[in-house]
Amino acid sequence: MSDILFIKTSSLGDVIHHMPALTEAARACAGARFAWVVEEAFAPLVALHPAVAEVIPVAWRRWRKALVVPATLREIGASFGKIRRRRYDEIIDSQGLLRSAAIGRIARGRRHGYDASSIREPLAAMFYDVRHNIGRGLHAVERNRILTGRALGFAPQGAPDFGLDRASLMSPGARYAVLLHATARPEKEWPEENWVALGNMLSSGGLDLVLPWGGDAERARAGRIAARVAGGRVVERQPLGEVARLIAGASFVVGVDTGLLHVAAALGVPLVAVFAGSNPGLTGPVGAGPMTVLGTVGNPPAVADVARAVERIAP
């Protein structure tokens, strides 16, 4: 049985974008055992993929704030010990950053990654045993699929399959929609007034409108929107696995370019994607469910256009 290690640590959208590569690899390499190194916050989501035998969490985002603290050093040592515990036939770093390439050097096995012309941090390519040239103009999902296929000896075929089962995550309950208003990058935001206007259009059907959040500023923003929208509801912060279940049960999702939007797409939830500060051709949502993508860099969609799109995709 082959042992294969994937390194894709963050961010949430990037982790989701790697899942189709794993699904294909599991089909092409019957009997292989797959492990995945990922940031601790995203580990519950990775664990939902049925092909993952082992999730190895790292906490670089937390460790770097206190690198010289003894407790942090012990944690790092324990995580690195887990990475080195098994010898892998193939190690695939689809992150392409210096930190992920360094993790690959800790692991034991043949290391695959992008060549220097194919990644944002070209020095990372020095850490790989096998380097693959893959166009940077391709969508992230396709880049991951091609890299994995070349490393494992198969050619990607067909539409991406994220390997997640929406039905198994859904719980019976109230009918609701999810509004993903929050993003870590201000240029990707859609104005608060637009969310209020859209929410009031959507709530006329008696639908609850759920607003998740990740940080204090996002929670305050969610509260302001919910206070002005009938049926608006701010949910408590939850682990990512539970947020995935919340999204899986939604009638539809409207969201900006953020990681949770890609969770919705991967689950096949009907969605409308609102782009304002990024290019959907490179990082837009990909999935099998009903989907409309509106806007692009510097040209966000109008509220009326988003509302019409919801009418088309909502069940």
Domains of the chain are 3-152 (3.40.50.2000), 166-313 (3.40.50.2000)
> What is the CA angle 12-14-19, rounded to 5?
100
Q: Where would I find the H helices in the chain?
A: 12-28, 43-46, 60-63, 70-84, 98-106, 140-152, 166-169, 192-202, 216-227, 240-248, 259-267, 280-283, 303-313
Nearest to 22 by CA among 45, 41, 39, 11: 45
Q: What is the mean pLDDT of each run of 10 residues along the chain (315 residues)?
A: 94 96 97 97 95 97 91 95 97 97 97 97 98 96 98 96 95 88 94 97 88 95 97 93 95 96 97 96 93 96 98 90
Nearest to 57 by CA among 15, 89, 2, 88: 15
Q: Which residues pair with 231 in a beta bridge?
A: none
> What is the CA angle 59-116-38, rounded to 5?
20
Quote the tokens at residue 253.
């999702």
Hey, is 308 helix, strand or coil? helix
Hey, is 116 helix, strand or coil? helix
pLDDT for position 173: 75
Query: 30: which residues sit within 8 A by CB, 6+ positions away?
Result: none
pLDDT for position 206: 82
pLDDT for position 172: 77
Task: Give the strand order in the sheet containing 291-294.
Answer: 232-234, 208-211, 176-180, 253-256, 271-274, 291-294
Nearest to 167 by CA among 21, 269, 79: 269
Question: What is the per-residue DSSP string for 166-184?
Answer: HHHH------EEEEE---S
Question: What is the per-residue DSSP string for 276-300?
Answer: SSS-HHHH----SS-EEEE-BTTBP
pLDDT for position 203: 87
Pairing of strands 108-114, 176-180: unpaired
Contact 195, 226 (CB under 8 A): no
Q: How far apart are CA 185 and CA 257, in angstroms?
A: 9
Contact 211, 235 (CB under 8 A): yes
pLDDT for position 88: 98
Nearest to 58 by CA among 23, 88, 97: 97
pLDDT for position 18: 98
Burial class (CB in 10 A: 0-12, 13-18, 19+), 122: middle
pLDDT for position 232: 96
